[in-house]
Structure 1
Amino acid sequence: MNNEIQSLTSTKQELQDNITTIQNQMTIIKKEKQTFQQFTREITDDDFWNIPEPSTFMNAKSYHKKIVIPFINGIKTTINRMIKKYLNLLHEVDNLKTSVLPLKMKIRELNTQIDQLFDRNRHLEKTLQKYKKY
């Protein structure tokens, strides 16, 4: 009886540890999301991300070729990296959320089993004490 209780208690503890780990990972992901949002704000406000003005004697074709095209290609590369990282983080959050729910349900189930075993153990102890009296 006690072995069953100990086994269930250790399993419960393992599941609670798993939930804690997953919650820590979700916290990290939330922080990364905030960093991503801050980075997005910086992009919209920073002059670095604005197209530079052409020099006074530069024609439109050379401005387009030397400044605009490399600038746009750099922005495209940066945005693609950000989108990929965001999608990876979003996928990871979804996986973590789906992992947490079954673990919480299993912990509830184990808590119920532990309570039942404690009640059964108390009942058996009372019955044993009654028999010891005789």
Structure 2
Amino acid sequence: MLITRIFPLISFVAIIGFSGCSTNVDGHNPSSSVYAELGGSKKIEEIVENFVVEIERDPVILAYFDGADINRFIDKLSEQICHRTGGPCEYSGDTMEQVHGGMNITEADFNRTVDLLINAMNKADVPHPLQNKVLRVLAPTRDEMLYL
């Protein structure tokens, strides 16, 4: 079962921390960011862990992850959320087009995945107004993922 493979990977990611995070040298002020409102990397880590469990429980969305490197997914999604919410991380992964090319993700499945992310944030006790801020900063990736 995937869960038995995922939880050790999540623990590994939690131990090594956010490898893409560094001190902020570009003058960006994370104290006034969505990242800061979330509470930083610990909350992002919790959201990503919850999201992986949500994906595992959804056979439609889980099919998109067949053969995926779950450890890399966890690491890069954490980096991306950290970066896009104004945290001190740089996203070092492939473009959304590169990652999702050939998947032919439908709008319905994209929306279903957003619902899983919302479930993950609910389980992490992220207040709804803050969830909306997170979704707002992630929304631009939508067109980079659909029907490729």
TM bucket (normalised to shorter chain) is under 0.3
User: Which structure would you say has the larger RCO, counting Cα contacts within 8 Å and 6 or more residues apart?
Assistant: 1
The TM-score normalised by the length of structure 1 is 0.26
The TM-score normalised by the length of structure 2 is 0.24
Between Structure 1 and Structure 2, the one with more helix by share is 1
Q: Whose Rg is larger?
A: 1
